[in-house]
Amino acid sequence: MIKTAMEKFVIVGAGMTGASSAALLRKILPVGTVVKILDKSRGTGGRMSTSRSSTGNSATVDLGAQYISINSHYAKVHQSIHEELISQGLLKASSGVIEDDKFGGDDIQQYITPAGVSSLVKYFVKQAGGEVAFEEHVTKVDVVGTKVKLTTLKGEEELCDGVILTMPVPQILQLEGSIRHLIDSQPKVKENLEKVSYSMRFAVGLFYDAGVTLSYPWAAKYFKDNPCVCYVAIDDKKRGIENSSVGSSAVVHTSVHFGMKHLEEDKEEVKNIIMKHVRELLPDLPEPSEVKGHKWRYSQVHKSYADEPGCVVLSHSPPIILAGDAFSHSNLDGCLTSALSARDAFVKSTGVKLPSNHL
């Protein structure tokens, strides 16, 4: 168990699990301890991604997670966190029509994010109060004495007192360095990691000039029988934004089957295929001023780590912890469950004391 003061702790991944893990650690680490987040992308959010139009139009669209679905169990377990997000205006009960909703139910309350789903992640990053470094692709994790050394694709090194890795499991298994020995030396852990799988899909964001109206009775709609499109949302309507001077936006998600079929094809070519299906489904949809495509190689978790432990500790000294929705489930509360589990594992490994009013 580590008894010396921690100078720096690193979280790899600026998605919801990484951001909330950083915020939770910030609450228990001494003042002066650096909490740093590294991410290989150009911004926060991970699969809670909000994309902005590149044409000068300030419209945004959620390309990843669409709604925050909270069941009665997590409404109690994570009540204080939900209430905090609601009080900050980041979460709001949904009032829009979701046609043919396949995820709702009497036990689930749907929430929307007025500022875009990535605003939740940005909030936790701000609460962490630490450094965030983008376009830092960690490729190697080594134990060096009582420290962890992270090496990026650029060859840059980061020495820290511990790390939480929140990237998709296949990317964890691709890491080089002594982390491979840590995984290989725990056969059951390795077996369970190798069994984790993800769904794959494409998303397309549609941006419109101000004044263009998308006149549909629904904010979002699921399509059950189309070979390509499974979901379309009018993003501003979904978020409850009315009469905005900013142009409308919409998002299209493909089915998992379509995503798997076209996964290795050029994103721009696939985007054209998707738009052909969209125009057939919604022939009266106005022509957008911009169309942005995105490939989700790792969309929702298809098969979780066995028994969904929340996190897995590869090393206690120094702490190397695996976390993310693969160790729970793919929604806000799954990420929060994993982050809380990672925090508790960190406490057990280091002897840091939890505050009396912790969740």
User: What pLDDT does 179 receive?
Assistant: 98
More confident residue, 161 or 247: 161
Non-local CB neighbours of 332 within 8 Å, separated by 6+ positions? 16, 65, 68, 69, 70, 120
Q: Do 290 and 204 share a domain, yes or no?
A: yes
- What is the model's pLDDT at position 246? 79
Query: How far apart are alpha carbons 49 and 66 in whole angstroms?
Result: 9
Give the burial class of 343: count Cβ atoms within 10 A of its Cβ; 0-12 exposed, 13-18 middle, 19 or more buried.
Answer: buried
Residues 6+ positions from 264 with CB-CB distance below 8 Å: none
Residue 281 has pLDDT above 50, yes or no: yes
133 assigned to some structural domain: yes
Residue 35 lies in a domain: yes
Written as one letter, the residue type at 106 is D
In a domain, 355, yes or no: no
List, for residues 128-149, the tens digit of each pLDDT value: 997 899 999 999 999 999 999 9
279 shares its domain with 144: no
Domain count of the chain? 2
DSSP string, 32-90: T-EEEEE-SSSSS-TTS-EEE-SSS---EEE-S---EEEEHHHHHHTHHHHHHHHHTTS
pLDDT of amino acid 205: 96
Helix (H, G, I), strand (E, B) or coil at 117: coil
238 & 343 share domain? no
Q: In this predicted structure, what is the pLDDT of residue 1?
A: 31
CATH number at residue 338: 3.50.50.60
Are residue 129 and residue 227 in the same domain, yes or no?
A: no
By percentage, how much of the chain surpasses pLDDT 70? 94
pLDDT for 1-38, tens place per residue? 333 468 999 999 999 999 999 999 999 998 889 999 99
Measured between alpha carbons, how far is 174 from 200 in angstroms, rounded to an integer? 19
Give tens-digit pLDDT for 71-90: 999 999 999 999 999 999 99
**pLDDT digit string, tens, across residues 44-78:** 999 999 998 887 667 899 999 999 999 999 999 99
Same domain, 207 and 184: no
pLDDT band, residue 222 (cuts 50/70/90): very high
Question: Which residues span the domain enclosing 242?
Answer: 55-116+198-301
Q: Is residue 280 part of a domain?
A: yes
Residues 231, 283 within the same domain = yes
Q: Who contacts 30 (Cβ-Cβ below 8 Å, separation ≥6)?
A: 5, 6
User: What does the alpha-carbon distance between residue 297 and residue 122 come to, in Å, rounded to a whole number?
Assistant: 23
Give the pLDDT confidence score for residue 210 in this predicted structure: 85
Instruction: Flag whether 359 is in a domain.
Output: no
Q: Which of 116-125, 190-199, 206-215, 241-250 shows the lowest per-residue confidence on average (mean pLDDT)? A: 241-250
Say what the pLDDT of residue 241 is: 81
Least confident window among 2-6, 230-234, 307-311: 2-6
| Residue 34 covered by a domain | yes
Across 136-140, 240-244, 354-358, the highest mean pLDDT is recorded for: 136-140
What's the CATH code of the domain at 296? 3.90.660.10
Q: In terms of domains, do 285 and 334 share one?
A: no
- Contact by Cβ (8 Å): 196, 301: yes
pTM: 0.94
